[in-house]
Structure 1
Amino acid sequence: MESEDCFETHVAERLKRLRVGRGLTLDQLAEASGVSRAMISRIERTEASPTAALLARLCSALGVSLSVFFASTEAEPSPLSRRVEQPIWRDPESGYLRRAVSPQGTGSGTDIVEVEFPAGAELRFPGRPTGRSQTQHVWVFEGVIELIVGDTVHRLEAGDCLFMNVGDVHGYRNPTDRAARYAVVISLGP
């Protein structure tokens, strides 16, 4: 299994590769994302772990979704993704655990993510214009989550599934004292 430390290195390398690939300096990415230059530099040097909200702001400024950001560009294409090889990432602020379930490198227009969301946890996102071409389903397996989509709060319980535009999601919250587990199925657009 890929360790969280190893995946943090992947996050740092991926951020720098995307920034440099778009011809952006640290200052330009800082201005576009609203994240300080110092923080971006610390993330790229693996001295800091970005929160989910901070990473969402960086991805928006880079013009990619979180799913595209986390996709491995070096993965050998395979139709099979074994659980022990699936990359995981934990948000250092909320404890949210994200597991990339989809086989990587297949060129599929669908991305599947498994999430473990701790009791009482909350994530807030700014609207993300880059997510406007992507849609997602959130399907709850265990527990309860509340999603803020546009101006509406949706309470989802085990078995419930909600469809939405990725750019309209402003937050996730677990209002209970039990962890929630759910899948996010993302259509990456045309």
Structure 2
Amino acid sequence: MSNIVDPLVGQIAARVRTERERRRWTLAQLADASGVSQAMISRIERGESSPTAVVLGKLSAAFQLSVSSLLALAERAQDDATDTVAAVHRRDDAAEWRDPATGYQRRQVTGPHFPAEIAEIRLPAGARVPYPAAAFAFVRQVVWVLDGHLTFHDGDTVHGLDAGDTIELGEPTERVFANTTDTACRYAVILTRTTQP
């Protein structure tokens, strides 16, 4: 059985606190930069609240990281592989993060030493996850639909994507991942960093 939510809550808490402290920001400064309340950030950093995908999007945007990067950094503690050793990642051992608001589920496919980040996403029927433009800064990203139908809002443009379809994302803009059907959608996100913030 997959290890869902609980182990990652503490790792996400530590990563958010580490990213904030690395920038020497107070809770108030991160709240101002992200639009997330100080109280919510404090609960997240203490591991008392699992952030939603929307909140993670706002925090990652404030840090100038993608959501995938923020979560991959949180998951690093589970992967001690080096880039000189072949690393096998078993499905049943993978940490999965579930958005408590939408049921959106994310599993990191690649380890921290691989040059591209690949994550598998399961978006439940009816779920809608918006992200601010800044969450896509400093990355090149491809979304590849594996099963189902994804309605993808790229700024003002809406794309209907079916199994096998891909979209290569351009300049950062507000984006929404939506499943407007009555069955789950599964897609992969593949990204590389273009520069360091």
Unaligned stretches of 5+ in structure 2?
none
CA distance in 1, matches of 2:161, 2:146: 10
Output one character per residue of 1:109-158: Cα deviation in whole Å (capped at 9) or x when no partner.
Answer: 31100011100111112221x52321211111111011111211000011
Structure 1: 5+ residue stretches without partners: none
Give aligned pairs, total: 187
1:122-141 correspondence runs (5 A): 122-128=128-134, 131-141=136-146
Contact 1:131 1:165 in 2 (8 A): no
TM-score (norm 1): 0.91
Among residues 132, 155, 159, which one is paired with 1:150 in the alignment? Answer: 155
Identity value in percent:
40
Matched AA of 1:41 = S
- Residues 109 and 189 of structure 1: is their aligned pair in 2 closer, same or farther, counting only changes over 3 Å? farther
* Aligned 8 A contact 1:143 1:179 in 2: yes
Task: Note the C-alpha offset of 1:101.
Answer: 0.6
State the match for 2:57 in structure 1: 56
Return closer, same or farther for 1:169/1:87 CA change in 2, 3 Å cut-off: farther
Moved segments of 4+, more than 6 Å: none
Secondary structure of the residue aligned to 1:167 is coil
Secondary structure in structure 2 of the residue aligned to 1:23: coil
Query: Contact conserved, 1:136 with 1:166, CA < 8 A, in 2?
Result: no
> 2:46 aligns to what?
45
